[in-house]
Amino acid sequence: MIFKLLLIYFSINTISAVPLKFRDGVSVVPYIVNGTDAKIEEFPFIVSLIYIYNETLSWHTCGGSILNEYWILTAAHCIYDEEPESYAIEYATTHVTETPGSFKTRQVEKLIWHEDYDEANLNDDIGLMKVRSHLDINLFDFKIRLPVRDAYFATGIPAVLAGWGRIGTGMPISTILQKVDLQIYNQYDCAQIHQPGWLLYNNICAGVPGGGKGQCNGDSGGPLMSLGVQVGIVSWSIKPCTVAPYPGVFTSVAPYVDWIAENSGLNFQLGMFLHSV
């Protein structure tokens, strides 16, 4: 599996020895650019998803966010058609060690990807992971907040993205958590920029008008935050990473609040924002 982020190649160079899939001439590879170092206090809910190849080889593959002491929210393409034994999560740290077994690491027990997830167009690109043993955290401080069902976020609203992805096309992933300030593009406005038919009803986008800031390989599954809640899950972007004028594409979280509750068994308190209880 490794990474699966949707990207268009504008050059003949590949970025790493990462397996590729293709859709209509578009490469699908598993993928912050021009970000700054983040503190865990800013994103206490973020986790690194570690892919375990064997007993001696593992690596960071995607991001995720903590829903409660057992459940993690991520992208379907990060876990699709894989076994739980192949994954661990690292949490409560800004550094990725890629060595499962440390105090802040938990093995994954269960993987759930959306039943309508489409690997060809990344529709319904949302998934859940359940860890074997509870996370040693203060849930009040560490769990993510979700938007209310079907909440709408208008173009121009400030957002922030965090992750350990590549710092640029052809560059290594960051071993220190990065953050970058972006702005939201609603589905309609983003669809006017991207290729016709590529944006789906359940997508939301984020970037900057001039390009140069946003997601890259390894940021998949990670959280896009706005107004104190997670509004998106990193899904795909055009390559080279952050090339203008294309904003990065995310799975919008708001349409999936019920799906998250149904599949995780979590209850949510209704209010301006949703909190798992």
Helix (H, G, I), strand (E, B) or coil at 121: coil
219 labelled catalytic: no
Q: Which of the residues 58, 65, 220, 235 is marked catalytic? A: 220
Q: Alpha carbon of 147 to those of 188, 208, 231, 247, 256: distances in Å?
A: 19, 23, 6, 21, 10
Give the span between the Cα atoms of 171 and 183, in whole angstroms. 24
Q: Which of the residues 125, 237, 264, 276 is marked catalytic? A: 125
24 labelled catalytic: no
DSSP 33: B
Give the span between the Cα atoms of 104 and 109, in whole angstroms. 16
Cβ atoms of 161 and 34 closer than 8 Å: no
118 labelled catalytic: no
Q: Which of the residues 48, 60, 77, 226 is marked catalytic? A: 77
Give the span between the Cα atoms of 130 and 108, in whole angstroms. 6
Give which of 276, 160, 179 is closest to 225, Cα–Cα. Answer: 160
Q: What dihedral angle (degrees, nearest 10) is formed by the CA atoms of 15, 237, 168, 63?
A: -100
Catalytic annotation, residues: 77, 125, 220
